[in-house]
Amino acid sequence: MGVIAIYIVNVARCAGISYLIIYYPQYSEFAHHYIFAFVVYAFIITLWLFYSNKVTLHVKADQ
């Protein structure tokens, strides 16, 4: 499920960058390098935190 979610976020990122290039080209470089990179990294870190908490809770329940 996480891989599919990351794929969807990446497609949305590409669509957003394309939109900015077409309609607001002056903001596209900044958005590509900072805003969209932050959003994707934050999403991946959030997924990792949810996964690691889930695994930790599952291990604690087995003990």
pLDDT at 62 over 90: no
Q: Where are the alpha helices (H) located in 1-63, listed in sequence order?
A: 2-23, 25-30, 36-62
CA distance 28 to 48: 28
Range of weakest confidence among 6-10, 14-18, 19-23, 49-53: 49-53
Report the C-alpha gap between 35 and 58 in whole angstroms: 35
* pTM, full prediction: 0.78
- 3-state percent breakdown (helix, strand, coil) of the chain, nearest 5: 95, 0, 5
Q: Which residues contact 9 (CB under 8 A, 6 or more apart)?
A: 39, 40, 43
pLDDT tens figures, 21-51: 999 999 999 999 999 999 999 999 999 999 9
More confident residue, 62 or 14: 14
